[in-house]
Chain A
Amino acid sequence: MLFSSPVFIFYFLPVVLALALALRTYGRSATPFVCLVSIASLSFYAYSNPAWLPLILGSILVNYFLGAVIASATRIARPSLVIGICFNLGLLGYFKYADFLIVTANSMLGIDQATLNVILPIGISFYTFQQIAYLVDVYHQPELKRRFIDYVFFVSFFPQLIAGPIVHHSELIPQLATVKQRDIASDLSTGLCLFFMGLAKKVLIADTLGQYASAYFGAPTAGFTQAWLGVSAYSLQIYFDFSGYSDMALGLGMMFGLKLPVNFDSPYQAKSIIDFWRRWHITLSRFLKDYLYIPLGGNRRGDVRRFANLLITMLLGGLWHGAGWGFILWGGLHGLYLCLNHWLATLSLPQWLRAAGWPLTLIAVVFAWVPFRADGLIDTVFIWKVLLGMADTSSAVPLDLNLVGYLLVGWLLVCFAPNSQQIINYLFPQAQYPTQPSKLLSGEFPNRVRPLFAATMGCAAAVGLAMNNRIAEFLYFQF
């Protein structure tokens, strides 16, 4: 069940939200609210495929049990942590990477091992990482408060279950104690605006650009301009899609009285790759840094080791995104970018070169999206060659002015406009999402702006949903 699907918007959300608000208002404690939302979240998960419900429940039970053992701080705490990490990685490895490994082994060793045809359970990458983080956190802070029902809530809370943000136990669970005291009207108005803003970003912008991106990557042409337009369309699609989804998650969290961590902070305005990774998929970057890069040694053992750690972290980060060489290549490329960026940071560069940081970063990021999206490494190399003007450009076709218009608006928005959190912080100062204030949003605003903005976002989301339900005339010439 996607947040943009009718069943979620018109059935699941209104019913669950109404019940949750009633329990927040009339419940004696937060426990009935926690139970209701946990049951609703598990139903949300099971809706896609009921067979996956035992998997997430089993994962929750095993991790909660191991967490309890680790928290006992006895001699078996450390082995239990290792077992827990292995269990989670094993689960992820089987469901996400088993077939990839078999196919790779087949092609490298010339064998013919049949694939397992494992279906990837939705959200497993997110809830597995979240639980690994929990086990490590419990190991370091055995006093971490952990009621079973709270733990179920922490793992399954539906706004963050299938696409993040990756939440720490300490970020979510303490909020449950105050959920009944919060101002429901304030939460609802902030959450609705954020949700509709995210929905509009997803259905109105990302899905429209996605059609162009799919058309280009489905059949890459040798035209230089077409290649840049196609890759640009994908770069914007993935940003508006993922950040829109994160906005919806944050908005939903807020409607239920809980503040989820920010995942995007204008990443295409980053002035360096290091800066980019502080702004793009922030909760994943934080996880990779805290639970992989630092345990590997971080920057504590010299530059060579530091660069090796960066490369390993980013390669594994790429692999986390999907079982494919394209993702590994994307991660490796960003690892190299980061190494280069850290090395350059030690040099005294001329001012003009520092000023070029933003466009150079943007171009590097756009370039790296190619293996992330292309159908295989052959297409990736081909598109890269075209982008660099190294392939024949004789097949150039006329410009699609609609696409140029969409791209222009899209790039202006991501490069200069305030992001969702900045807008929300400006309109709803009590929201206080951690982000730099936008220079474009300052001073007082008339009170009528807020309802007007809310209505505009609601309308944009509705129109976006209507635009997405397409009717294609089926033309067939052979049959």
Chain B
Amino acid sequence: MHTQTITAALLGFLLPVIGIMGFNAWQDPFQYYRKIEESRFSENARWQNPGLIRNFDYDSVLIGTSRFENFKPSMFQPANWNVLKVTASGSMANEQLHTLELVLNQGKADRIVLEMSHVSYTLPLERKPSEFPDFLYQSTLETPFQYLLSYDLLLQSFTPSKREQIPLDELYVWWTQANDAFGKANLLSHIASQCDKPIESRAEKPPIQAYLHRLERLISTHPQVKFITVFTPLSAIELGEGPEHDEVRDPIADRLDFRAQTAAVASRNPNMILYDYAAREEIVTDLDRYKDTGHFDMATTELIAMEIITQTAPLADLNNVNSRLLKLREEFDPARFSCAQLSKKSPHPTAQSEIGLVGI
């Protein structure tokens, strides 16, 4: 009798486990264990990128946030770079470093193009495992159970047709969905719409140094890999004063700190190059290029890609990393676009900027 009970308990537990894991392994919707499809992908970058990194061919990798998502691998084709883009919108430094570690562990990449965003490095946000599955980036004994023993994954395994039919070159590109959202009017409208939102209290010192230390360790231990790091071009309006509030850190101070520390890392590592589009005047002051203060248009994306492969992008070093930005700030006078000024011009900001921004 007891033997029957033990058998029943074990079978009752193991059969669903084996069934779910087996079917999920066979379908493998995020292609984590093997490359299954060349042109059908999920838009869930955080879950899909580890499989792309492990199972696809590349010699160059693009890592960054939504600002990097409009880069297409084909833009780097003139230089014969075989690029894999593993960006993730809203990704924090911790997520990007996990991605970078996985890329480097595969040993396939000769160069990494890495977005250096002060926002990613100054917000110590923790994501839930459901949002950022770090077990796919740092494989352990538990990984097969955490990935495959999942009801949500089972649903995806049953509905492969729900994954988008996208060529790899177009993966994560959002430009086409937001084409109409760019331009100075949209940008100002977006800023105005943000004015009423409460300011997030952030009194603690951001963990910039810890993240950059982790990045530098990866750079210095992989001297054969070239790290092309890029300060992306935020609109010059982002250079405005931080809010006058005791409990909120000044974002400009954090940004300058981040830039200086990044330049110091670059100065110590010959295999790292630092390009600075954040201080490129003709881009950051041309507000028509933006849909909000941080997201630039496709023409700017193409320009950056071209200058990276032709090595004509603006270099940043310890001497110029903050001086150019501060000079730009002085000349541009971002205070013109403060909430107080905008409300004088338009007491009822439109919500136009909310259109077409989902997922970006």
Contacts from A to B (Cβ < 8 Å): 5-7, 10-11, 183, 185-186, 188-189, 192-193, 196, 447, 450-452, 454-459, 461-463, 465-467, 469-479
Contacts and interface: CB of A to CB of B under 8 A. Distances in A.
Contacts of A193: 5, 9
A465 B130 contact: no
Interface of B: 1-17, 20, 43-47, 65-67, 88-90, 119, 128-133, 140-142, 145-147, 149-154, 156, 292, 294, 357-360
Q: Lowest 9 A-B CB distances belong to which pairs?
A: A458-B12, A455-B12, A458-B13, A6-B145, A451-B8, A476-B90, A469-B150, A454-B9, A185-B2
Nearest to B10: A458
Given A185-B2, A185-B6, A479-B66, A471 B12 contact: no
A477 B291 CA distance: 12
A454 B8 contact: yes
Nearest to A9: B145
Given A188-B2, A458-B10, A471-B150, 16 more contacts: A6-B145, A11-B141, A196-B9, A196-B12, A450-B4, A454-B8, A455-B9, A455-B11, A462-B15, A462-B20, A463-B16, A466-B149, A470-B129, A471-B44, A472-B130, A476-B66
Contacts of B156: 471
A189 B4 CA distance: 9
A340 B131 CA distance: 47
A439 B195 CA distance: 63
Nearest to A479: B90
16 contacts: A10-B145, A11-B141, A188-B6, A189-B3, A189-B9, A192-B9, A457-B12, A462-B17, A469-B147, A470-B150, A472-B128, A472-B130, A474-B90, A476-B90, A477-B358, A479-B67
Contacts of A189: 2-3, 5-6, 9
B244 to A, nearest CB: 22
A441 B61 CA distance: 63
A471 B47 contact: yes
Tell me the dominant secondary structure on chain B's binding face: helix
Nearest to A465: B149
Given A11-B141, A479-B66, A479-B294, A455 B149 contact: no
Nearest to A471: B152
Contacts of B154: 466
B128 A478 contact: no
Nearest to B154: A466
A474 B151 contact: no
Contacts of A478: 90, 292, 294
Contacts of A450: 1, 4-5, 8
A447 B6 contact: no
A458 B151 contact: no
B145 to A, nearest CB: 3
Contacts of A472: 128, 130-131
Contacts of A461: 13
A470 B150 CA distance: 7
Contact of A471 (B7, B13, B45, B130): B130
Contact of A474 (B3, B17, B46, B294): B46
B142 A458 contact: no
Contacts of A467: 151
A188 B43 CA distance: 46
Contact of A466 (B67, B140, B150, B357): B150
A474 B69 CA distance: 15
Given A10-B145, A185-B6, A479 B65 contact: yes
A185 B5 CA distance: 9
Given A6-B149, A188-B2, A479-B360, A473 B44 contact: yes
Nearest to B1: A447
A429 to B, nearest CB: 12
B280 to A, nearest CB: 20
B89 A454 contact: no
A474 B2 CA distance: 47
Nearest to A469: B150
Nearest to A427: B5
A462 B12 CA distance: 8
Contacts of B146: 6, 469
Nearest to A456: B12
Contacts of B10: 192, 458
A476 B5 CA distance: 49
A211 B224 CA distance: 46
Contacts of B142: 5-7
Contacts of A185: 2-3, 6
B20 A451 contact: no
A202 B147 CA distance: 20
Contacts of A6: 141-142, 145-146, 149
A459 B6 contact: no
A458 B9 contact: yes
A247 to B, nearest CB: 14
Contact of B6 (A5, A192, A475): A192
A186 B8 contact: no
Contacts of B11: 455, 458
B9 A470 contact: no
B152 A458 contact: no
Given A6-B142, A455-B9, A465 B3 contact: no
Contact of A459 (B3, B13, B44, B358): B13
